[in-house]
Amino acid sequence: MKFIVRLHAEITIKSRSVRQRHLKVLTGNLRTLMKPLDRSVRVNSRWDRIDIYHAADASVTAKIIQFLQQTPGIAYFEQVSEHPLTEFEQLLEWILASQTQRLSNKTFAVRVKRKGNHEFSSIDMARYIGGGIRARVPGTEVALKNPQEEVVLHVIDDTVSMVELRFAGLGGFPLPTQETVLSLMSGGFDSAVASYQMIRRGARTHFCFFNLGADAHEAAVREIAYFIWEKYSRTHAVKFITVDFSEVVERILEHADQGSMGVMLKRAMMRAAGQVAQLVKAHALVTGEAVGQVASQTLSNLRIIDQATDALILRPLIVSDKQDIVNEARKIGVEHLSAVVPEYCGVISQQPSVRVNPDLILETEQAVLPDSLINEVVAKSNAVDIREVRVNPVAGPTIYQDSIPENAVIIDVRTDDEEELAPLQLEKHKVLHIPFFRIARKQDTLDKNTTYLMYCQQGVMSRLQAIYLKEQGFVHTGVYEQTNSNKD
């Protein structure tokens, strides 16, 4: 089995040395991802592509496709079958053996791309193969423009590759060909999408969370950050940094002007984040802010916020509509996660100003939030390797595997389709199937004195739902993780 991986177009137009560096980094990333899959997997770098070979195994093939679709720097990739370059008639027989059913009663076109020295042209081969298909496959007609099907052949030296399937990649640049950044994570749609976009552009992205006073919120944000890292940048370890901002919030609520509370909080975050960025050697801060989305995100207020730090602040979503952000969150797989993150706003102003007076900020900020306080909360910040987030969860739900409370009820929060494919059945415990998007509506039917353990395939949504129920007053909640030893 073979895959041909094509570089993102922006890489191919760079200078020779830069292109070689990007190609080398992408090849290394793919080898890191593929190595644990199977001994047969080989990743070979070429100037214009990367070839991946492995022994025919459906599970390995599926995993390779998944990794390639989630790796920055890839424009697209093709699953191909190969045949030695022989006479055209032999190649035609080879193609017909697998493509006759697909092409029957359809318009088609044959596309040939060559590399190497050959006695024939690409058009010569395309005409012969196309004529043979038209003559031997019932109901076919050649249509060079907008055909229903295409037969794509790559002729490289003495080998012919026929494309069986083509998949879109993420585009962007390989990690970490761009400089390191620090993303300010709230767990919502905006910060999650902004983090993804920086990863996609090849920037190693650390995560920074300002805890405004809700431990359950921190546990949920850790899950979101871990999901983004594991799916799109697992080849490179990053940090998850938590900064306790509870005292900052308290001082703002007690002493700040009502109209400037939000801006003062954002400035405090930037002051602290600038220091954290230096600790992790990040070259810029990343936020999910968009112009006009809330009062603190007008151009006037963003300018005041920017002046709080010398650090470069990047806002990938600055002109994005909210629905477009939500759509992107759905596309990258975090919509359902961010949608159920427990909401916690430490500073709620009744009359936020869309144009805060900068003189008022300068007059009061040091009195309310002196540099010594910001330095202190940064010094007490907690930084963990993102890979340890699951090993040492903070304020998260209890995980149950082999030892499950006797009277516990398992709630399977997977979607209907997921549950139907692999039903969860336990001999000694009751299993309820309530998809995650119905939990809020169904919570009134649940007994708050019962122990409920959430279950899902990956363990992310189950954790978030356990956190949500705990916030709703369900004291006895946790997560059930199925292992090989506890399967019935």
**pLDDT for the residue 439:** 86
Is 70 exceeded by the pLDDT of residue 152? yes
Is 60 exceeded by the pLDDT of residue 307? yes
Q: State the CB neighbour count (10 A cutoff) for residue 463.
A: 26
Percent of the chain with pLDDT over 70: 94
Residue 342 DSSP code:
P
- Kind and range of the H or E run holding 7: strand 2-7
Taking residues 351-369, what's their average pLDDT? 90
Contact 377, 241 (CB under 8 A): no
Distance CA 326, CA 331 (A): 9
**pLDDT for the residue 343:** 53
Any known ligand binding at 63? Answer: no
**Among 197-201, 297-301, 374-378, 456-460, which stretch is predicted with the lowest mean pLDDT?**
456-460
**pLDDT for the residue 485:** 53
Is 70 exceeded by the pLDDT of residue 488? no
Taking residues 13-36, what's their average pLDDT? 96
Note the pLDDT tens digit of each residue in 263-282.
999 999 999 999 999 999 99
**Among 23-32, 132-141, 335-344, 436-445, which stretch is predicted with the lowest mean pLDDT?**
335-344
Is 90 exceeded by the pLDDT of residue 217? no
Q: State the CB neighbour count (10 A cutoff) for residue 22.
A: 21
Residue that is written with structure tokens 């006695």 in the block: 119
Is 70 exceeded by the pLDDT of residue 215? no
**pLDDT for the residue 403:** 81
Q: Would you place residue 95 in the very low, low, confident or very high pLDDT band (cuts 50, 70, 90)?
A: very high
**pLDDT for the residue 115:** 93
**pLDDT for the residue 171:** 97
Contact 235, 75 (CB under 8 A): no
- Kind and range of the H or E run holding 261: helix 261-279
Taking residues 172-185, what's their average pLDDT? 97
- Residue with the bigger pLDDT between 301 and 401: it is 301
Any known ligand binding at 275? Answer: no
Q: Would you place residue 355 in the very low, low, confident or very high pLDDT band (cuts 50, 70, 90)?
A: very high
Residues 6+ positions from 91 with CB-CB distance below 8 Å: 83, 85, 125, 129, 160
Question: Taking all residues of the chain, what is their mean pLDDT, rounded to a whole number?
Answer: 91
Q: Would you place residue 456 in the very low, low, confident or very high pLDDT band (cuts 50, 70, 90)?
A: confident
What is 108-130 written as a DSSP string?
EEEEEEEES--SS-HHHHHHHHH
Any known ligand binding at 297? Answer: yes
Of the candidates 178, 126, 174, the one whose C-alpha atom is nearest the C-alpha of residue 152 is: 126
**pLDDT for the residue 320:** 97
Vertex 326: Cα angle to 325 and 330 (nearest 5): 115
Q: Would you place residue 82 in the very low, low, confident or very high pLDDT band (cuts 50, 70, 90)?
A: very high
Is 60 exceeded by the pLDDT of residue 10? yes
Any known ligand binding at 454? Answer: no
Contact 184, 269 (CB under 8 A): yes
Distance CA 11, CA 172 (A): 8
Any known ligand binding at 430? Answer: no
Residue 443 DSSP code:
G
Note the pLDDT tens digit of each residue in 222-263.
989 999 999 999 999 999 999 999 889 888 888 888 889 899
Domains, in order of start, for the chain: 2-168 (3.30.2130.30), 178-388 (3.40.50.620), 398-480 (3.40.250.10)
Distance CA 298, CA 353 (A): 10
Amino acid at 214: A
**pLDDT for the residue 315:** 98
Percent of the chain with pLDDT over 90: 72
Provide the sign of the torsion angle of the four alpha carbons 294, 317, 289, 184, taken in this order: positive
Of the candidates 302, 329, 5, the one whose C-alpha atom is nearest the C-alpha of residue 186 is: 329
Note the pLDDT tens digit of each residue in 410-454.
999 888 878 888 899 888 899 999 988 788 888 899 999 999 999
Of the candidates 488, 452, 486, 445, the one whose C-alpha atom is nearest the C-alpha of residue 469 is: 452
Q: Would you place residue 182 in the very low, low, confident or very high pLDDT band (cuts 50, 70, 90)?
A: very high
Catalytically active residues, by annotation: 456
Taking residues 118-140, what's their average pLDDT? 97
Distance CA 296, CA 292 (A): 8
Note the pLDDT tens digit of each residue in 461-486.
787 788 888 878 898 999 998 875 55
Is 70 exceeded by the pLDDT of residue 77? yes
Is 70 exceeded by the pLDDT of residue 350? no
Taking residues 39-65, what's their average pLDDT? 94
Taking residues 6-11, what's their average pLDDT? 96
Is 80 exceeded by the pLDDT of residue 347? no
